[in-house]
């Protein structure tokens, strides 16, 4: 066992604080990673605050992990000491269900083992990336292309793949009109990726306060959803809408913006169910869909795509002790556009 420094939530209502946690011994197929950077995803906040249900405390979160391999097990073939690597939202899956066999571990029918707050193979609760080291089975470790600095790679491991996957699945590309709802961590990467895929991109944000940024990230149009004219002007327009909002939205209003056979895919994960009228779906034969992160193979493809197209998140590097303040700023949408913890501050 390896005892490592970490930042943990002691309960749903107390601030995160410094602690130590145990990492398992490196098994034959495991990789030990010295974590350099950990992104701060809104899911981390939903999880520690109990938005999605009760969890076991203390809990270390963080599933946007980038670092360096410092030890490999005797049977490891994919990674070597010194490699620049990443870990996203999952660290294992059953490997035998229909979906795992099809290479889509993110949809493992037994439920994949999440990087944090999940029951691991050995019965312990997984602990995430706000820590100095992590031990992960090699198949769930990604290779970070040389062109992407580690601090910029971290947010791609969740925010990047979660937006890349639906954009790729629903064929965002030339001739397609794509809207991105919410310009936060996921949203700003969705804009950059959809633009690089060749789609015509519109940002739907609550106000125009981030308009210059949105246009710089590659958006062709930027509209305020607080302005009722937006919904009248853009009715029956989009082939695809990616909703990244962490809270509830009026789905019917956004669905009405889809043209014939358009799809609204929800990746935002609010605590409460979202109601919609089936009659909005009947019009224009619209679809409402969901999407959860992406497979390991697709995550590697996304990293390579971002390297090729020079796509990187806008990040603000913080010390571990600033995490509670960062959470408050995320909750106020005062983030431009992803906080990343410099894990050297935890050493």
Which of 33, 43, 197, 243 contacts Zn ion by CB under 5 A?
Answer: 43
Residue number, 2 or 12, with CB nearest to ligand NAP = 12
Q: Which two tokens stand for residue 132?
A: 């100095």
Residue number, 43 or 112, with CB nearest to Zn ion = 43
Give the range of 34-42, 52-60, 301-309, 338-346 binding Zn ion by CB under 5 A.
Answer: 34-42
> Which residue, 48, 209, 180, is CA-closest to 127?
48
Instruction: Give the residue closest to Zn ion by C-beta.
Output: 41
Cα 148 → chain centroid = 17
Cα–Cα distance for residue pair 87/239, rounded to 1 Å:
32
Tell me if 186 sits within 8 A of 166, measured CB to CB: no
Cα–Cα distance for residue pair 229/246, rounded to 1 Å:
24
Helix residue ranges, H only, the chain:
42-48, 98-101, 150-153, 159-169, 185-197, 211-216, 228-233, 251-255, 278-282, 296-308, 323-331
Give the range of 17-25, 28-36, 40-48, 200-208 binding Zn ion by CB under 5 A.
Answer: 40-48
Which of 153, 158, 168, 312 contacts Zn ion by CB under 5 A?
Answer: 158
What is the contact surface with ligand NAP in residues (CB under 6 A)? 41-43, 46, 158-159, 162, 182-187, 205-206, 244-247, 249, 267-269, 291-293, 330, 333, 335
Residue number, 25 or 328, with CB nearest to ligand NAP = 328
Residue number, 157 or 179, with CB nearest to Zn ion = 157
Output the smallest distance, CB 51 to ligand NAP, in A: 8
Residue number, 43 or 256, with CB nearest to Zn ion = 43
Give the range of 52-60, 127-135, 152-160, 200-208 binding Zn ion by CB under 5 A.
Answer: 152-160
Tell me if 150 sits within 8 A of 33, measured CB to CB: no
Cα–Cα distance for residue pair 60/55, rounded to 1 Å:
11
Give the range of 70-78, 91-99, 157-165, 252-260 binding Zn ion by CB under 5 A.
Answer: 157-165
CB count in 10 Å sphere of residue 50:
15
Output the smallest distance, CB 181 to Zn ion, in A: 17
Output the smallest distance, CB 175 to ligand NAP, in A: 26
Output the smallest distance, CB 104 to Zn ion, in A: 18
What residue 58 binds from Zn ion, ligand NAP, none (CB within 5 to 8 A, per partner kind)? none
**Judging by beta carbons within 10 Å of its beta carbon (0-12, 13-18, 19+), is residue 279 exposed, middle or buried?**
exposed
Looking only at the bridges linking them, the beta strands covering 30-39 and 315-318 are unpaired
């Amino acid at each position: 066992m390896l005892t490592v420094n970490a930042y943990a939530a002691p309960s749903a209502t107390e601030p995160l604080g410094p602690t130590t946690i145990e990492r398992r011994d490196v098994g034959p197929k495991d990789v030990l990673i010295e974590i350099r950077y950990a992104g701060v995803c809104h899911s981390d906040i939903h999880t520690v605050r109990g938005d999605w249900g009760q969890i076991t405390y203390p809990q270390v979160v963080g599933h946007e992990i980038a670092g360096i391999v410092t030890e490999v097990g005797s049977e490891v073939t994919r990674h070597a000491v010194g490699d620049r690597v990443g870990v996203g939202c999952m660290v294992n899956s059953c490997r035998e269900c229909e979906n795992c066999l099809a290479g889509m571990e993110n949809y493992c029918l037994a439920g994949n083992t999440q990087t944090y707050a999940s029951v691991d193979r050995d019965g312990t609760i997984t602990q995430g990336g706000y820590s100095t080291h992590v031990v992960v089975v090699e198949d769930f470790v990604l290779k970070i292309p040389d062109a992407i600095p580690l601090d910029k790679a971290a947010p791609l491991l969740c925010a990047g793949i979660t937006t890349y996957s639906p954009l790729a699945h629903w064929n965002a590309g030339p001739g397609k009109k794509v809207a991105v709802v919410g310009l936060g961590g996921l949203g700003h990467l969705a804009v950059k990726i959809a633009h690089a895929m060749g789609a015509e991109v519109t940002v739907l944000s609550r106000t125009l306060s981030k308009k210059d940024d949105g246009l710089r990230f590659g958006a062709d149009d930027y509209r305020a959803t607080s302005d009722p004219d937006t919904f009248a002007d853009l009715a029956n327009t989009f082939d695809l809408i990616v909703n990244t909002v962490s809270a509830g939205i009026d789905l019917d209003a956004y669905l009405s913006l889809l043209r014939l056979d358009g799809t609204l895919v929800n990746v935002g994960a609010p605590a409460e169910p979202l109601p919609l009228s089936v009659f909005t779906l009947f019009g224009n034969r619209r679809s409402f869909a969901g999407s959860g992160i992406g497979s390991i193979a697709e995550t590697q493809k996304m990293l390579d795509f971002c390297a090729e197209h020079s796509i990187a998140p806008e990040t603000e590097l913080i010390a571990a002790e600033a995490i509670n303040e960062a959470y408050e700023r995320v909750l106020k949408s005062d983030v431009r556009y992803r906080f990343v913890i410099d894990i050297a501050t935890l050493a």
